[in-house]
Structure 1
C-alpha cells in the first residue's frame, strides 16, 4: 500500500509526531545537503572555470561570492514567506529554481551568465534552510527540538564535503558536471517532496509587506557588497566603494527598522530582531558565523601557506573537523532536554576556541598535518556540542514563526562568515608572511568565541521539549 499525502491541520505546537516524519526528514535533508555542498564545491573548479571561459580572476571569484550573498538575501525572505503562504509551496518552488539554475550553470558559455545563474541557484538553495526547518518542526511534534537540532547540523557537513566532491569531479570530468549532478538529484527531490511532504496551514492571510522586504533586501545587499569588496578588490577600509556601500546599508537598515516599527504587519517583526531572547541570539549567530565559517573557509589555505601541505591533503583536514562534529552532534541533540541551551553552547564555544589556538601554535612532536588534524578534530567536537543548542535557542519563544527565525539565524551566520573571510583575505594580501598572519587571525577568531560566552548567559535557557 502506498502512503497517502495528508494535509497537516495541526497547529505548530501540536504534540503528536506525524506518520511519515522520517521520510520527510530524509527528503528535506537531501535539499539542505545539496545547497550546502554547492556553497563550497565551486572553490576547487575556479581555475578550470577561469581557463575554459577565458574569465578574469575577480569574476571567477564572484561565482562563490554571489552564491553566499544570494543565500544571505533570501533566507529571511523565504522564512517569512514559508510561514505566511505555506512551507511546502515555497520549498517546492525553491527546489525547481535550484534545479533549473544548476542546469543553466552547466551550459553557459561565458562567466557573466554563470554568475547570474549562480545567483538564481543561491535563491533556491537559500530558501531550503528556513522552509525545511519549519517542515521538520511540524512533522516531529513533541520531538521537534531534537529533530531541528539534528537537521540543522547537516549544513556544516555539506560545506566540508563540497571541496572534496568538487576535486574528484574536476579531476575526472569537468567543472560543468559540478552543476550538472544537481539536475537528477533535484528532479528526484521535487518528485519526493510533492509526494510525501504534507501541505502546512499558512498563517492568517495578510497583505505582504513589500516595502519591508525591499528595505531588508537593500540593507543586506549593500552591506555585504561593501564587505566583499574588501576581499575581491584588494581594497582598504577607506576605499570609496566600501564606504559608500556601508553608508547606504546603514541608511536602508534605519529605514527598515523604522518601517517595521510602524507597519501593521511588518515583513520581519521587530521582536525577532531585538530583545533579550532574539536580539542576543542574532548577535551570537553573527559572531559565531564570523569565527567558525570564516575559519572553515581559510583553514586549507593556512595549511598550504604556512606548512606547504598539498592542496588535496589540506582539504582533507576539514574531514577531521567533520568527524568530530558528527560524533558529538547526535549525543548533544538527545542531551538537550537535560542540559538546556547555555551549557552546551558555552562548552562548545570554548572547545572551538581551544582548537583554533592550538592551530596557531607551531607543532610539538608531531608532523604539521597530524597537529592540524588533531586541532581540527577539537574544533569539530566543539561545533558538534554547540550547534544543536544554538540552532534551537529562541525557537521555543515563537514556535509559530520557526521558518522566519531559522532564516534570520542563517542570514546572521552567513553574514558573519563573509565579513571574516573578506577582512582576513584583505589583511593577508598585505602581509609579508601570510601563514603567520593567518595564525594570528585564528587567535582573533578564538578571542571572538570567548567574547560570545558572556552573551550566552543572556540566552533564555530551556529544558524539556517545546
Structure 2
C-alpha cells in the first residue's frame, strides 16, 4: 500500500464514525467557500460598465478584470490540489479563504483599474485554491458516502457561476460595484473562524513531496497558453505575435513538463492522472465540456441583447432559468449515480445541453424571444445538472488518496476550455457584421462539439455502487 493510501484509509474510517450533524456543518462551510469563489468568477461581468466609468478605464482593461481571474484559477487549481494532498486540506483551505477575503477587501477599495486587475489576479489564487482543498475535506468527512457528497458539492461551482451576473446586477443597481467585492469580507471572516474550529487539526502529511520543477513548468505551460488565447479574445489576429509567441512558449514548456514528469521519481502530476486509463479521456471531455457548457453561459446575456434587443437586466435573468434547471435535477442525479453509473447521465446530459444550445439559435416565428431563450436555457441547466455529478466522480474512485489533486486538474481543464471558447467566440464576433447572428452560429458549433465528444463517454470506466 502506498504512503498516500495509508494516510487516506484511517481518515475514511473515522469519517463513518463522525456525528452526522458535524459532517453536515463541514459540508456547509466548504460549500459556502466554493460558492463565494465561483460567484466571483462571473459577478464582475454585469458591473463592468460601472467599473470602467468610475475608474476611467478602457474596455480592454475592464475586460481584464474578468480574464485575469479566470487565468489565475486555471493556473492555481492543479497546484493547490497537489499541495493540499501533500500538506493537508485544512491548511490550504483556510489560507485560501484568508487570501481571498483580504484581496476582496482591497478590490473594493481600488482607486484605479491597474490596481484592480493586479488584485483580481491575487484574488484568483485564493479562489482557485478553495475547490481542490474543499473537495479533499468533503471526501475525508463522508467515508462510504463521499461519492454522493462530492457529487453534490462540486455541482455548486457551475451554479455559483450562473448566479454571479445576477448578483452583480443587483449590487450595481442598488449599491455600487464595490459591493460585489466588499460583501465577501464578512462571509470570508466567518468561514475562517468556522473552518479553524470545526475542521480537524490532526491531519498528517499525505505523502510525497512537492516537485518544484514539475510545478513550475506546468504553471508556465498553462499561463502561456491561456495568455495567447486571451489575447486572441481581445481582438488580436490569430497570426499576431501576441498570440503565436505565447502559444510557442506553451508548447516548449509543455514538452519540458512531459519530459521531466516521465523521469521524476515523485512527479508533480503523474502521467497516469493526465493520460492514463480513464483519466486521459475524462480530461479531454472536461476541456470540451468546459468550452461548450460553461463557456457559453458568459455569452447568453450578450446574445440576447445583440440578436433580440432584450434589455441587460432581463438578459441576465436568462441564466436564472439555467440555474433553476440545474438545481432541480442535480440532487436527484447525485443520489441515482449508484444505480445509473456514470456513462448514461453524461450521455443524456450532454445531449440535453446540445439541444438547448440549438434551440437558442432556431427561435420559432412569432414566439417571445425571452420566453423561448428561457426555456432553452432551462434545458441546458437540466443537462448540466444531470451530467456534472457523473463527470465529477467518474475518475475519483481510481485515485482516492489524491482527490484534491484530481479535482484541481478537473477544474483546470474545464476552466481552460471555457476561456478558449469565450476568447475564440469574442474574437469572431468582434469582426462580424452581425454579432448577434455570429453568436447564434457559435452556439451551434458548441452544440456540435458536445455531440461529437459524447461517444467518447463509452470509453470512461463504468462504476456503480459506493466507493
Q: Could you state the TM-score of these two structures normalised by the residue count of structure 2? A: 0.96
**Counterpart residue number, 1:256:** 257
**Counterpart residue number, 2:145:** 143
Q: Distance in 2 between matches of 1:343 and 1:461?
A: 10
Tell me how far 1:9 sits from its aligned partner: 7.9
Structure 1 residues 226 and 12, CA, compared in 2 at 3 Å: closer, same or farther?
A: farther
Q: How many residues align?
A: 459
Q: Which moved more, 1:302-311 or 1:192-201?
A: 192-201
**Counterpart residue number, 1:208:** 210
SS in structure 2 opposite 1:273? helix
Q: Distance in 1 between matches of 2:166 and 2:53?
A: 21
Contact 2:86 2:209 survives alignment (8 Å): no
**Counterpart residue number, 2:386:** 385
Q: Distance in 1 between matches of 2:396 and 2:375?
A: 34
Q: Which moved more, 1:279-288 or 1:157-166?
A: 157-166
Q: Distance in 1 between matches of 2:175 and 2:310?
A: 25
Q: Distance in 2 between matches of 1:54 and 1:195?
A: 43
Q: Distance in 1 between matches of 2:337 and 2:366?
A: 38
Structure 1 residues 104 and 279, CA, compared in 2 at 3 Å: closer, same or farther?
A: same
Contact 1:86 1:200 survives alignment (8 Å): no
Q: Distance in 2 between matches of 1:145 and 1:117?
A: 35
SS in structure 1 opposite 2:299? helix
Structure 1 residues 205 and 348, CA, compared in 2 at 3 Å: closer, same or farther?
A: closer
| Matching of residue 187 in structure 1 with residue 186 in structure 2 | no
Contact 1:8 1:199 survives alignment (8 Å): no
Contact 2:329 2:382 survives alignment (8 Å): yes
Unpaired runs of 5+ residues, structure 2, are 1-6
**Counterpart residue number, 1:10:** 10
Contact 2:8 2:206 survives alignment (8 Å): no
Contact 1:209 1:267 survives alignment (8 Å): yes
1:383-436 C-alpha deviation (Å, 9 max, x unpaired): 110000000010000100000000000000000000000000010011111111
**Counterpart residue number, 1:174:** 176
Q: Distance in 2 between matches of 1:242 and 1:260?
A: 27
Q: Distance in 2 between matches of 1:379 and 1:75?
A: 26
Tell me how far 1:94 sits from its aligned partner: 0.1
| Matching of residue 127 in structure 1 with residue 93 in structure 2 | no
Tell me how far 1:65 sits from its aligned partner: 0.5
**Counterpart residue number, 2:441:** 440
Contact 1:8 1:201 survives alignment (8 Å): no
Q: Distance in 2 between matches of 1:323 and 1:132?
A: 24
Residues 292-331 of structure 1 aligned to structure 2 (within 5 Å): 292-331=293-332
**Counterpart residue number, 1:40:** 42
1:299-331 C-alpha deviation (Å, 9 max, x unpaired): 111111111001100000111111111111010
Q: Could you state the TM-score of these two structures normalised by the residue count of structure 1? A: 0.96
Unpaired runs of 5+ residues, structure 1, are 1-6
Tell me how far 1:256 sits from its aligned partner: 0.5
- Structure 1's consecutive aligned runs of 4 or more residues displaced over 3 angstroms after TM superposition are 11-15, 199-207
Q: Distance in 1 between matches of 2:43 and 2:413?
A: 22
1:76-115 C-alpha deviation (Å, 9 max, x unpaired): 0000000000000000000100000001111121111111
**Counterpart residue number, 1:3:** none
Contact 2:92 2:129 survives alignment (8 Å): yes
Q: Which moved more, 1:302-311 or 1:51-60?
A: 51-60
1:200-249 C-alpha deviation (Å, 9 max, x unpaired): 634455442111111011000000000000111x1121111100010000
Contact 1:13 1:399 survives alignment (8 Å): no
**Counterpart residue number, 2:4:** none
Q: Distance in 1 between matches of 2:85 and 2:455?
A: 32
Contact 1:17 1:139 survives alignment (8 Å): no
